[in-house]
């Protein structure tokens, strides 16, 4: 189904096959080790979006703070916000994360609804606030092709990375680059269609590094409602949920360590064919496949490859 017209960030994940084969994995890393028994406890997750509806039943009372970015005469300021969702999208993302990591603390950082001319500035201010306020995982639902915002986003995501804040961001299905999802320090996510929140793939051919469930996802929507949604922006919070689980069990991991763990326990196919690997000379700490030493029952949604 290769079509040169399509940006097709989801394509490797839509039909997982040869493109996702990865011969080498880090030895001893299993899902059980990574997040077995974890609940997300102690991890603050920021939702930079349309505002969380705190009393939506699917959020289970896990929202601890609501702020909004306003653009004042002297630039952006972060103020306390009402516990409501202008659209429904933030609540959908928050509920996906709580569904996977029920004890996380959600922080609503609303950047939508204000003056659109300040959108990039508001987003930057919201992310900056998150970095300064103990957020460990941040789910972003905004992307831009604007070259003017490229350096702004680049500096921010680097800042987040160096301060061990994991940013999950939906890839944008438009031709050409869009930011910040395609920066290397971000957990960029596209959608796959397999209905399992814990099924995810690592893409060895970035820029989009992860594929997670994002098609026909039952979601929370505003005013206590529910609906069914498709889009990369519903895949990204699934990865945010996994990151929150890992960080709650292993506090202090840097984003690159979390990425390495996710890559090691992803559902990529191809691990039953060690003879296809590069062969001799690999480090002793790396194995051609964990099938033999990894408890299968610890892995949810094991790939069929």
Partner 1 sequence: MAPGARKPVGTDAALAALVAAARRVDVARVLDGDIETRLLQSIVDATARLFDAEAASIAIFESNPDRLEFRVASGEQGRGAIGLTVGPTEGIAGYVFSTGQAIALSDVAHDPRFNRQVAERTGYVPRSIAAAPLLGDGGAIGVLQVLDKRSSPTFSLRDMELLSVFAGQATVAIAAARLERDTGRLLRRALVSIDPDQADGDVDAIIREVTPGLDGDAEVPFWRLVDAVVRARSANGPPLALVAAILEVLADHTASSRGGIARR
**Residues binding partner 1 (CB under 8 A):** 1, 5-8, 10, 14, 49-50, 86-87, 89, 112-113, 115-116, 119, 141-148, 170, 172-175, 178, 191-193, 214-216, 221, 223, 225, 227-234
Cα–Cα distance, 131 to 116 (Å, whole number)? 23
232 close to 171: Cβ distance less than 8 angstroms: yes
Using the minimum distance from each CB to partner 1, give the nearer residue, 69 or 288. 69
The token pair at 205 is 């051919």
Among 21, 91, 12, which Cα is nearest to 50's? 91
The residue among 50 and 248 lying less far from partner 1, judged by its C-beta, is 50
Q: Least distance (Å) from partner 1 to the CB of residue 61?
A: 23
The dihedrals phi and psi of 154, each to the nearest 5 degrees, come to -60, -45
| Least CB distance to partner 1 at residue 103 (A) | 28
Q: Which two three-digit tokens encode residue 246?
A: 């890992």
Question: Which of 174/286 has CB closer to partner 1?
Answer: 174
Which one, 147 or 297, has the nearer CB to partner 1? Answer: 147
- The residue among 165, 206, 151, 183 whose CA lies nearest residue 44 is 165
Residue number, 82 or 115, with CB nearest to partner 1: 115
Of 92 and 258, which CB lies nearer to partner 1 in the complex structure?
A: 92
User: Minimum Å distance from CB 273 to partner 1?
Assistant: 27
The span from the CA of 63 to the CA of 45, in Å, is 9
Helix spans in 73-203 (H)? 89-100, 119-132, 150-162
From CA 136, how far away is CA 146, in angstroms rounded?
Answer: 27
Q: Give SS3 for 163.
A: coil
User: What's the closest the beta carbon of residue 125 comes to partner 1, in angstroms?
Assistant: 16
């Amino acid at each position: 189904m290769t079509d040169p017209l399509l940006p097709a960030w989801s394509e490797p994940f839509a039909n997982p096959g040869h493109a996702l084969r990865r011969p080498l994995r880090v030895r001893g890393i299993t899902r059980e080790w990574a997040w077995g028994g974890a609940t997300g406890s102690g991890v603050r997750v920021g939702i930079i979006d349309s505002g969380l509806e705190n009393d939506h039943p699917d959020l289970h009372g896990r929202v601890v703070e609501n702020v909004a970015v306003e653009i004042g005469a002297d630039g952006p300021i972060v103020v306390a916000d009402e516990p409501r969702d202008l659209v429904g999208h933030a609540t959908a993302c928050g509920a996906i994360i709580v569904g996977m990591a029920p004890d996380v603390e959600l922080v609503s950082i609303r950047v939508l609804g204000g003056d659109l001319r300040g959108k990039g500035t508001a987003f930057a201010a919201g992310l900056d606030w998150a970095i300064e306020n103990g957020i460990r995982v941040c789910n972003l639902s905004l992307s831009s092709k604007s070259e003017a915002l490229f350096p702004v986003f680049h500096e921010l995501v680097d800042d987040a990375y160096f301060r061990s804040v994991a940013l999950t961001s939906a890839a944008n299905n438009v031709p050409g680059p869009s930011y910040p999802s395609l920066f290397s320090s971000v957990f960029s996510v596209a959608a796959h269609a397999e209905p399992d929140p814990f099924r995810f793939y690592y893409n060895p051919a970035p820029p989009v590094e992860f594929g997670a469930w994002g098609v026909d996802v039952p979601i929370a929507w505003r005013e206590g409602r529910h609906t069914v949604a498709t889009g990369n922006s519903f895949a990204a919070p699934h990865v945010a949920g996994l990151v929150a689980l890992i960080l709650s069990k292993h506090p202090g991991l840097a984003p690159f360590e979390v990425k390495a763990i996710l890559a090691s326990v992803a559902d990529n196919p191809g691990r039953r064919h060690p003879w296809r690997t590069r062969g001799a000379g690999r480090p002793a700490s790396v194995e051609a496949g964990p099938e033999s030493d990894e408890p299968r029952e610890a892995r949810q949604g094991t790939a069929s490859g």
